[in-house]
Chains A and B, each alone.
Chain A
Amino acid sequence: VIAIISGIVLAATTAVLPDNVGYVAAAYLVFFALVLIYLVIMASKLARFERETAELLELVDRRDHLPDGAERPREEAAAR
């Protein structure tokens, strides 16, 4: 079914689209791919920030729940 649909789309576009459409599509795809790669990098950075923020929040929670005079959990944080 996919092959038939692809064939129909290809035949229809070949008849309708102007010459050199492949080159134009390739140039625009390169541009959009670059933007997409940048977005993926940004997404991974955002995920890292979320993880670090969660770690710091956990650290604050643990500090808040320690009895007075107890040592702060610096060693654990340092181990990370």
Chain B
Amino acid sequence: MLYGNRLRTLSIATFVTMTAALALAFFYAPMDADQGFMQKIFYVHVPLAMVALGGFVFGGIAAIQHLRTRDPRWDLRSYVAIHLSLVLGAGVLITGAIWAKASWGHWWVWDEPTLVSFLIVFLLYATYQPMRFSIEDPERQSRYASVFAITAGAFVPLNFLAVRLAQAYTHPRVFATADGGLPPRMQLAFLVALAGMTLLYVTLWRYEMTSKNTSAQLRALRRRLAGDDAVAPAGRSAAPSLPTT
């Protein structure tokens, strides 16, 4: 499978949607009556969080496929999805801390369930790559990593539910709240921002997959041209390697 096929279209769509999202957030969405201008952080922080959590779940689904089919490509898809979600997760924590400082005067508030539960999910997934690296045998590594990805992936919706059920609502609710959620103009800006962030995630995921695929193809080509001796044995790595034959 060639992952680079629709990269150009995806990249353009991402750029257009992200630009539209920024324009809508700053020039179309009204100023929040309570938080004022600082509420604009919402349009980057919340889509980042939702897409990061969605990426973790996608990593779990890809891991299920890997265990079902034993196809190493599914393991790679799961690995890249989790890796990207971790990067976005770091962004969520930093932007969240900035918002907390602006809003509450503290960089971190330990009794806020949204923050703490996201940190738990982030720390859980932060062990994924060291766990992979600790297992030398590639077959065992991919199998154990898939089990981890499925278990942790199932934890993500539970975490989301727990936060929704928590009493201390300090984060804005977007959908299905008693008072109707966001005003329509804010909701539109948020949905476009969410679409842009999703497209960004998909684009970066495909970039990474294209890169890993190209790397494997180059190794295969070198092996064919120069023989097995020309390809250095793959060292111990957390990243799964695609077969090069």
A residues touching B (Cβ–Cβ < 8 Å)?
A: 17-21, 23-24, 26-28, 30-31, 34-35, 38, 42, 45-46, 49, 52-53, 56, 59-60, 63, 72-74, 77-78, 80
Whether A24 contacts B37 in the complex (CB less than 8 A), given A31-B91, A34-B87, A52-B218, comes out as: yes
Whether A63 contacts B225 in the complex (CB less than 8 A), given A19-B37, A23-B98, A30-B94, comes out as: yes
Residue contact B90 to A34, C-beta cutoff 8 Å: yes
Residue contact B101 to A23, C-beta cutoff 8 Å: yes
Main secondary structure of the interface of A (DSSP, over half): helix
Q: Which of chain A's residues has its CB closest to B90's CB?
A: A34
Residue contact B98 to A53, C-beta cutoff 8 Å: no
Whether A23 contacts B48 in the complex (CB less than 8 A), given A56-B225, A80-B230, comes out as: no
- Cβ distance B8 to chain A, nearest Cβ, rounded Å: 14
Question: How big is chain B's contact interface, by range?
Answer: 20 to 34
Collect the chain B residues with CB atoms within 8 Å of residue A80's CB.
230
Within 8 A of A (CB), among B74-90: 87-88, 90
- Given B98, B200, B214, B222, which contacts A27 in the complex, CB threshold below 8 Å? B98
Whether B44 is near chain A, meaning CB under 8 Å from some CB there, is yes
Residue contact B218 to A27, C-beta cutoff 8 Å: no
Q: Which of chain A's residues has its CB closest to B93's CB?
A: A30
Collect the chain A residues with CB atoms within 8 Å of residue B87's CB.
34, 38
Whether B117 is near chain A, meaning CB under 8 Å from some CB there, is no
Collect the chain B residues with CB atoms within 8 Å of residue A24's CB.
37-38, 40-41, 102
Q: Which of chain B's residues has its CB closest to A18's CB?
A: B37
Question: Beyond the given A31-B44, A34-B88, A52-B218, could you list 10 further A-B residue pairs with CB under 8 A, ordered by the A residue number?
Answer: A23-B38, A26-B98, A27-B98, A31-B95, A34-B87, A49-B211, A72-B227, A74-B230, A77-B227, A78-B229
Q: Which of chain A's residues has its CB closest to B22's CB?
A: A28
Collect the chain B residues with CB atoms within 8 Å of residue A35's CB.
200
